[in-house]
Amino acid sequence: MQSNILLVEDDLSIQEMVESYLIKEDFIVVTASDGEEGLEKFMQGSFDLLILDVMLPKIDGLEIVKLIRERSAVPILMMSAKDTDVDKAVGLGLGADDYIGKPFSMIELSARVKAGIRRSTKYSVLPKIQDEIIQIGDLKIDTINFTVWKKGELLKLTSKEFELLKLFAKNRKRVFTKAQIYNLIWNEEYFGDENVINVHMRRLREKIEDDPSSPEYIKTLWGIGYKLEVM
């Protein structure tokens, strides 16, 4: 089955180039040239992944991420010509799943798109298993339906945040280095860029911890990595 992608990019040359390449890769691509149009098309359609430029007319990409995350966990790949840690932290901190800096190769973009869709859809095709619910402290993690509750309240986690929590929940007491986390969650080789992991870990802690500055669930082992504190 073909995957549906929404591409929101105001630079028509980039939009046409990306659209053409992804269509050749057998994706169905819907395009928008400004944030308002992109948000409207998102609300009207059903998409497997959103490719979103940061700087857009009418409504910028970061505002769109906030609005979409209020109702959907669809994978979001951000694009920006400002390839800085600040832009990455802001974009990912709002709930985007991945980031690619301009200029980029079509091969890299396609790989990131495929990885994002693969990660988000694998949960829906897994067979039902007895250990689909994991209880850790006040957290109840449904590993099949991609949901997490804390004290009976449903938490809004992105796909990456859920994958991180599931990784630790399935491997209690095991210590994971940042390189191991990146390889397992992002399915890519780790080149020492800690920003992506740090941002996602911070956002996850803000959602699952009573006091994110003093986490009780996922502990930091300075200079080593992270582990889940079993409760």
Q: What angle do CA 32, 24, 78 make, to 5 degrees?
A: 40
For 169-193, the pLDDT digits (tens) are 988 878 999 888 988 888 777 777 6
Instruction: Read off the pLDDT of each residue in 195-205 and give the average, rounded to a whole number.
Output: 88
* pLDDT value for 66: 85
Residue 13 scores a pLDDT above 60: yes
Of 91, 125, 159, which one is at a domain's C-terminal end?
125
CATH of the domain at 149: 1.10.10.10
Give yes or no: residues 56 and 15 share one domain. Answer: yes
Residue 26 scores a pLDDT above 60: yes
Among residues 64, 56, 10, the alpha carbon closest in space to that of 40 is found at 64
Of 125, 156, 182, which one is at a domain's C-terminal end?
125
Peptide bond into 212 cis (omega under 30): no
Instruction: Read off the pLDDT of each residue in 100-129 and give the average, rounded to a whole number.
Output: 76
Q: Give 129's pLDDT tier (boundaries 50, 70, 90).
A: very low
* Cα–Cα dist 8/199, whole Å: 24
Give yes or no: residues 160 and 71 share one domain. Answer: no
Which domain covers residue 159, as residue numbers? 133-228
Of 125, 144, 170, which one is at a domain's C-terminal end?
125
Residue 165 scores a pLDDT above 70: yes
Give yes or no: residues 62 and 143 share one domain. Answer: no
Residue of 21 and 87 predicted with greater confidence: 21
For 203-218, the pLDDT digits (tens) are 999 999 999 889 999 9
Give yes or no: residues 14 and 108 share one domain. Answer: yes
Give yes or no: residues 106 and 181 share one domain. Answer: no
CATH of the domain at 31: 3.40.50.2300
Q: Which residues 6+ apart lie within 8 Å of 79 measured at CB?
A: 9, 51, 52, 53, 54, 99, 100, 101, 102, 104
**For the chain, how many structural domains are there in total?**
2
Q: Are strands 139-142 and 133-136 parallel, antiparallel or unpaired?
A: antiparallel
Phi, psi of 34 (to 5 degrees): -150, 165
Report the chain's mean pLDDT, rounded to a whole number.
85
Please give the C-alpha separations between residue 178 and each of 21, 53, 119, 200, 214, in angstroms, as whole numbers. 33, 27, 19, 12, 20
Q: Give 121's pLDDT tier (boundaries 50, 70, 90).
A: low
Q: In the Cβ-directed half-sphere of 34, how many Cα atoms lie within 13 Å?
A: 5
Residue of 5 and 134 predicted with greater confidence: 5
Give yes or no: residues 145 and 74 share one domain. Answer: no
Among residues 106, 2, 101, 102, the alpha carbon closest in space to that of 49 is found at 2
Q: CA quadruple 30, 35, 40, 43: dihedral positive or negative?
A: positive
Give yes or no: residues 143 and 120 share one domain. Answer: no
Q: Are strands 76-80 and 49-53 parallel, antiparallel or unpaired?
A: parallel
Give yes or no: residues 9 and 117 share one domain. Answer: yes
Give yes or no: residues 117 and 142 share one domain. Answer: no
Q: Which residues 6+ apart lie within 8 Å of 78 measured at CB?
A: 52, 53, 54, 61, 65, 91, 92, 96, 98, 99, 100
Give yes or no: residues 148 and 213 share one domain. Answer: yes
Give yes or no: residues 113 and 155 share one domain. Answer: no
> How many residues are given for the chain?
231
- Residue 5 DSSP SS3: strand
Give yes or no: residues 75 and 17 share one domain. Answer: yes
Q: Give 109's pLDDT tier (boundaries 50, 70, 90).
A: very high
DSSP codes, 123-156: HHHSPP-TT-EEEETTEEEETTTTEEEETTEEE-
- At residue 132, what is the residue type? E
